[in-house]
Amino acid sequence: MNIAQVRQHTPACSELIHFNNAGASLSPLPVHQRLLQHLTLEQRIGGYEAAQQEVAAVENFYSAFARLLHCRPAEIAYAESATHAWNAAFHAIALQPGQRILTGQSEYSSNYLAFLQMARLKGLQIDVIPNDEHGRICLDRLAAAISDDVGLIALTHVPSQSGVIHPAAAVGRLARANGILYLLDACQSAGQIELDVDALGCDMLTGTGRKYLRGPRGTGFLYVRSEALPRLQPDRIDFHSARWTAEDQFEFRNDARRFESWECSVAGKIALGVAADYATALGMQNIEQTVSDLASIFRQQLRRLPGIRVHESGPSLSGIVTFSKNSESAESLQRRLRDSSINTSVTRLSGNLLDLPRRGLGDINRASVHYFNTEEEIGRFCQVLQST
Ligand SMILES: Cc1ncc(COP(=O)(O)O)c(C=O)c1O
């Protein structure tokens, strides 16, 4: 990793310390410039005309994500956010009353709300599989919960409220062995961890642009395995996702774009493709190793500080570091860090009613590192942390 170059591509590094990459990372210059370039073209020649002129760049979005996820461009759809992508996939599954959804204790809040809504509307059952002693989904409990009435396994790969990485590929093997659809929320893992959809065994995978992929805000993506497509009927339709074949007939597209809407931010789509290419060019294994090493140094340093509790341990951890300071509320600490030009976030109990109470936690602080962060920044962070 050429740290000097990636920091040069990230001008804010000279102004502040950005440890909020799990919230929204900083876009590198090539991504930012590509976004602006297309917006300027739209202003100069018109939005439809600009899209026509940039067909190749728009198509690159699909091939860039195919390279990143090791799948085919036809298996990729653009979305406005991870939540849009996830809802498009979830609501396309024909779940029947009485069927069960198996999910993990760290499932993302909005996903779980969608389960609750559908449980209420359709009489589905939600089974939350507890975590094991390392804070990861317990595979034995998951295997034991599988039966004929399971309609979906849904997992959040890297939770937003803890630094663990769930064993998504092992879950995928169980799903495949039992012919159950598997929806993987890779919102925090995309751009941070090497993702290979065949190794993961997922049928659908969702993510956002603005986090570890360092794309623009308001962008996201959906992967749908071609073989799963016949089992998935989108709950929204327009003349982009479907063809009007006769006055009283229509057909959905035969690829993942059946989940898209016609209207979208073309600039965002082009720039998100550039962000995926940027990550691929740096090398996903390289990124994964750099982030993991930095987060591990971060946790070691935090554990040495009196009055600080780090909330994750175990063998497989992400770039998300969660902690609390005994003598200071999460919110006040975040504000104080911000006053010293250090960006972090607070993970709130109110948005994590499954996971945080089970771990005996309330609001907690979250510092999330990326490959452009440095050990010096961690040192400075620890100084500020201890300065009251
Ligand atoms: C694990 C996880 N899934 C989904 C989302 C939702 O992403 P978006 O805000 O792009 O819809 C988030 C956002 O924080 C997340 O952390």
Q: List, as one string, the DSSP characters of 230-262.
A: GGB--S---TTTEEEEETTEEEE-SSGGGG--S
Percentages helix, strand, coil for the chain (3-state, rounded to 5) are 45, 20, 35
Spans of all domains in the chain: 3-19+284-385, 30-281
Strands (E), 257-302: none
Model confidence pLDDT, tens digit, residues 316-335:
899 999 999 998 999 999 99
Model confidence pLDDT, tens digit, residues 49-75:
999 999 999 999 999 999 999 999 999
Among 110, 204, 219, 368, the mutation site with the greatest number of ligand 1 atoms within 8 A of its Cβ is 110
For ligand 1, atom 7, the nearest C-alpha belongs to 82
Model confidence pLDDT, tens digit, residues 115-162:
999 999 999 999 999 999 999 999 999 999 999 999 999 999 999 999
**Cβ–ligand 1 contact at 221 (below 6 Å):** no
Residue 295: other Cβ atoms inside 10 A: 24
**Which residue type is seen at 285?**
Q
Among 183, 187, 193, the mutation site with the greatest number of ligand 1 atoms within 8 A of its Cβ is 187
C-beta of residue 81 within 8 angstroms of C-beta of residue 208: yes
| CATH class in words for 30-281 | alpha beta
pLDDT band at 362 (very low <50, low <70, confident <90, very high): very high
C-beta of residue 119 within 8 angstroms of C-beta of residue 71: no
Q: Determine the atom of ligand 1 nearest the C-alpha atom of 208.
A: 10
For ligand 1, atom 12, the nearest C-alpha belongs to 187
pLDDT band at 388 (very low <50, low <70, confident <90, very high): confident
Summary mean pLDDT of the chain? 97
Distance (angstroms) between ligand 1 centre and the Cα of 83 equals 6
Distance (angstroms) between ligand 1 centre and the Cα of 186 equals 9
CA distance 123 to 112: 15
Q: Determine the atom of ligand 1 nearest the C-alpha atom of 156.
A: 1
pLDDT at position 258 is: 97
pLDDT at position 314 is: 85
pLDDT band at 346 (very low <50, low <70, confident <90, very high): very high
Distance (angstroms) between ligand 1 centre and the Cα of 166 equals 16
Distance (angstroms) between ligand 1 centre and the Cα of 251 equals 31
**Cβ–ligand 1 contact at 368 (below 6 Å):** no
Distance (angstroms) between ligand 1 centre and the Cα of 41 equals 30
For ligand 1, atom 8, the nearest C-alpha belongs to 82
**Cβ–ligand 1 contact at 352 (below 6 Å):** no
C-beta of residue 381 within 8 angstroms of C-beta of residue 17: yes
**Cβ–ligand 1 contact at 107 (below 6 Å):** no
153: enclosing H helix or E strand: strand 150-156
Judge: domain 3-19+284-385, CATH 3.30.70.1520. Answer: no
User: pTM of the predicted model, to two decimals?
Assistant: 0.97
